[in-house]
Each structure stands twice: as structure tokens, then as C-alpha cells.
Structure 1
Amino acid sequence: KHFACGAGSSLINVVLTFPINKIMFRQQLYGFRSHKAFAQLWREGILNLYRGLFPPLVQKSTSVAIMFGLFNHFHHNLATLVPFERIQTLLLDPKHHNTFKNSYHAFSSLYVNYSMKEYFRGTTAVLLRNGPSSVIFFTLRHPIKNHLPESEANSIQNSINDFISGAMIGALCSTVFYPVNVVKARMQSKLGGEFSSFQKTFKVVFRERNYKLRKLYRGMHINFARSLLSWGIINASYEFLIKTF
């Protein structure tokens, strides 16, 4: 039930926050300001708003299921889920809109036209982000909740406390590791050619942004809000589902 509840909480979160994530992604990849990223999505139309939803539904629900199901041991399995995050990046990038029709087409095209290695671009960045952030999440999750107002086990206040503790940790981790996500987006948006290391890609992105750290944080305010909402929903939903089932 820990696996199932973890997956269920993530499914709820992904569906609710996907459009916000899409705006943030454009800012990460191209360094856009938020209004420009929003305007670009607006021009593309409502039919493209949820383009690329399937990979994160699978990737996030599976990884969060593993995360809650295996607790301290989950991260050793995450590398096998990188292809879903890779496909999501390709589908979110507007320059690939005419390259891939949908998730299945993207998955099959990488296998047919490139190699298995293409599925795993950006693995280093994913591990650098998920490893430490998972330790932070499980280390702080209960201590933060314990400092919030006391509540009955099945009360609304208890669910609010779960939401707040998850939201605070998620916002913290997403802010600390935001530049890692920026580099990951660049690594995974590339199709074919050389496999650049995390360090080399970081140098390229940093140079393109005129060596200004604040430009690496373009989109962070949206990401901060999304993470507050996402991890609040995940944590509160997980606790609710566990108590229910």
C-alpha cells in the first residue's frame, strides 16, 4: 500500500501542476522571463498544453512510489526511470514539436534512429538532484511536522500539517537544486551527437547567461510556487491515502 499510495499522490500532483511545470521548463531551457514563456505557451494553444504529460505521469508516479515504498533504499532504482524524464524534456521543448508526434513516437524514434544511450542523457544530473534532495526530504519531513500545531490523527489540521511540511521541504530542495535542473534540461534537450558531461554543460549554460548566477535561476519563482504546491499535495495525499487504505 505504500507503493500504491505514493504513486496515487504523485498522479494527483502531476495532473494539477503540469502547466506550471511547462512554463518553468521553458525558462530553464531558454532563460526566458516568465511572461515570455507564458506567451509562448499561449500561442501554441490549449491542445499543446498537456503535450508530454504521459512520461512524467509514469516517471513521477513510479519514482514517488519507490520513494515512499522503499524509503532509504529507493534511490538505487531511479536510474532506470531516467528515460521517462528524457522523453518528457524532448516533448516539452518546442523545437521538437515537429520531430515527435507523441510519447510513443519519441520512445520508438530514439531506439530506431539513435541508440539506447540516448534514453539516458542527463542521468548524472538526475542523480545529483534526486540523491541529496531525497535525504533532505526524509530527514526533515517528520521534524518539521512535529513543530507545527498539534492535531488529531484524522483531523483537517493534521492534513494541513502534512501539506505544510511537504511544501516547505519541496520548496527548499527545488531552490537549492534549481541550477542542476537547468543543466539537466539542456543535457536532455539535445538529440544525437556528443554526450557532454554535467560539468561541461554547466560551463556552456553559465557562459551563455553571461556568467550571472541570477540568470541560472530564471523561472525559480515559478518553480518555488510549483514545488510548494506539488510536494504539499504529494505529502498530504500520501498520508491521507495511507490512513484510508
Structure 2
Amino acid sequence: MDEVSALVCPDLAPEDSSFEFLRGALAAFANIVITFPVHKLIFRQQVEGKSAVRAARGIAAEGLVNVYRGVGPPLVQKSLSMAAMFGLYDMYLRAILRAIRLHRGCSLEDLAGPWKVGAQASAALLAGSTEAILTPLERAQTLLQHRHFNGHFAHTWDVMKKLRPLGVREYYRGLVPILLRNGPSSVLFFTLRGPVRDVIPAKPSRFWDVLRDFVSGAVLGATISTVFFPINVAKSVMQAQLGGKFPGVVETIRRVKQERGGWRGVFRGVHINYTRSLVSWGIINSTYEILGDLLGVDAAA
């Protein structure tokens, strides 16, 4: 059976997206365990505006036991987030392809050109936006990683309990930058993942296939992460605040820029973030594809 025909015709393609959720979750789990110390270093630079050396010294001074302090929320949040990113994308894409079939019939042309890109972009935007439901976990991660709250919060559920008197809005502080980041970045990732991989010449080697997945995921993920770096800075600064006003994204970036002496201060830590993203997205993309081979499943597109 032609693979493209199976993608266009829902009755010819498997409809279960559960394995996509599992692949995303396991890929994220492996990534967080490996890269969390670097992520914490970047977070300190984003929030405190310090150089990499000063931020590293500060983390070291807090002791080895605190290096992985706060790993719980990102481990849960990122596993759920990546599960949602890949699983919901697959689920939404299948639904969109069914709609295309109803309106255009079952033909190879339905997955060509703008129809394919449009379906992928729509599914990615929906999946990325849905991930924002997990904002409270990102909020808990931010508070646990901030040195000012080392003695105030014990763990994730302690954060959730102590935020309750401040109202529901406190759980979703930073929601707007998360929406601005998740949707567009997911669109870029899913629509460009295949084309970027195809730039790398293919060879009859399993190791080379894994390497292509790693490199394409690494370059694409790191580039997207760099583009949205100021949005992430705003998100981190907003979520590091406990109580008080709820400044907007533009206001937060403007304040950070003023306090740190210009855009260079806003982008402080971007080089480490790029390096971490190279490794993170390389791990996520290659692990996701390896798991697909092991489980014997393929995504919708």
C-alpha cells in the first residue's frame, strides 16, 4: 500500500496516537536527566542577569545536593509537554487529514504542497497551544530553581499548596509568553523537521539515520530556541515573581532591557542556551525516532 495514500485515507491508516504520546514522554525524560544542570545555569542567567561563570559559581556554592533541586517539575512537565507535543500533533493531524479527505476525496495530491504544510502547521499550532495547560508545572519549576526561594518551597506540591491562597492566576503567571512560544515554535519544528533532515545525504546505515535525526533535530531546535529566547526570558522573569502585579510580555522585556543595559543583557545566556538546545533537541528527535523503530509505529506525517 502506498504510504502517502495511507496518510490521506484515514480508513487505511492506523488511528491510534497513543504510541506518539509515549515516544514524546520517553524522549523528554532522557533529555531532562542529561541536560538539567545546564538548564539551571541558563535559568539563573535569565533571571539574575549574571555571566555564565558567576551563575555557575553561585550554583556550586549552594552545594551538590542542590544541583538537581527543582528537577521534579521539569521532569514531569517536559515529559507531559513532549507527550502532548508529539501525541496531540499526531492526533490533530489525523483529524485534519480526515477533513481533507471528506472535502477533496482520497488522492495523492491532498498531501502535496500547501495542503501538506497547511495541515502540519494547523496541527502543530493546536498541539503547541494545548501544551499551555501545563503552565502551573513550569511555574513551580521556576520558583524551585530560584535561589531566593530555596528555603521557602520544599517540592512541587509544596509550591502548588502555597500558591493556592494567592489565587488561580498565580498558577498561570507567564501564560501569555508560553502561548507565544509554544504554538509558533511547534509550527516551525513540525513543518521544517523533514526538510532539514532531507538536507543531510542519506546512507544505508542505521547509525547514519540516527545521526541525521540527531543533527536535524539539534540544529532546528537550537535555532528555534534562539529566536524565541527573549520570550523565554520574559516568561522566566514573570514566573520568578511571587504575588503582586502581572506585567505584560512587552513591559517585562522593556524592563529587563533597561536594567541590563540593552539587548545584550536580554540575550545574556543565549550562547549556552543554544548549546544546550543543540544537545536537548538532538536527544529528543533521535530518541523519538529510535523509539518509533522499536515500537514499530509511524507518525501521521
TM bucket, shorter chain = over 0.9
**Larger RCO, structure (CA 8 Å, separation 6 or more):** 1
Question: Runs of 5+ in structure 1 lacking a partner?
Answer: none
CA contact (8 A) 2:253 2:266 kept: no
Question: 5+ residue gaps in structure 2?
Answer: 1-18, 90-122, 296-301
Number of aligned pairs?
Answer: 242
Deviation at 1:29, TM superposition (A): 0.5
From 49, 54, 59, the equivalent of 1:41 is: 59
Q: Which has the larger radius of gyration?
A: 2
Post-superposition shift, 1:151? 2.9
Match of 1:168 in 2: 219
Higher mean Cα deviation, 200-209 or 219-228? Answer: 200-209
Write the distance in 1 (CA, Å) between the matches of 2:188 and 2:254: 27
1:135 aligns with 2:210: no
Task: Report the alpha carbon displacement of residue 95 of structure 1 after superposing the two structures with TM.
Answer: 0.5
TM superposition shift of 1:75: 2.1
Check whether the contact 2:129–2:183 (CA below 8 A) recurs between aligned residues. Answer: no
| 1:151–1:70 distance in 2 versus 1, CA, 3 Å | farther
Distance 1:70 1:78 in 2: 9
Aligned partner of 1:109: which letter?
Answer: K
Q: CA deviation at 1:59?
A: 1.2
Establish whether residue 95 from structure 1 lines up as the match of residue 148 from structure 2: yes
Equivalent of 1:226 in 271, 276, 281: 276
Equivalence for 1:67: 85
Is 1:3 matched up with 2:16?
no
Task: State the shift of 1:76 in Å.
Answer: 3.3
Q: CA RMSD in A?
A: 1.1
1:86 partner letter: R
* 1:121 equivalenced with 2:173 (yes/no): yes
Structure 2: how far apart are the matches of 1:26 and 1:76? 26
| CA-to-aligned-CA distance 1:103-152 (integer Å, 9 cap, x gap) | 121111111x3111100000001111111111110111010111112134
SS of equivalent residue, structure 2 residue 202: coil
Matches of 1:34 and 1:117, distance apart in 2: 32
Tell me, in whole angstroms, the C-alpha distance in 2 between the residues paired with 1:50 and 1:225. 19
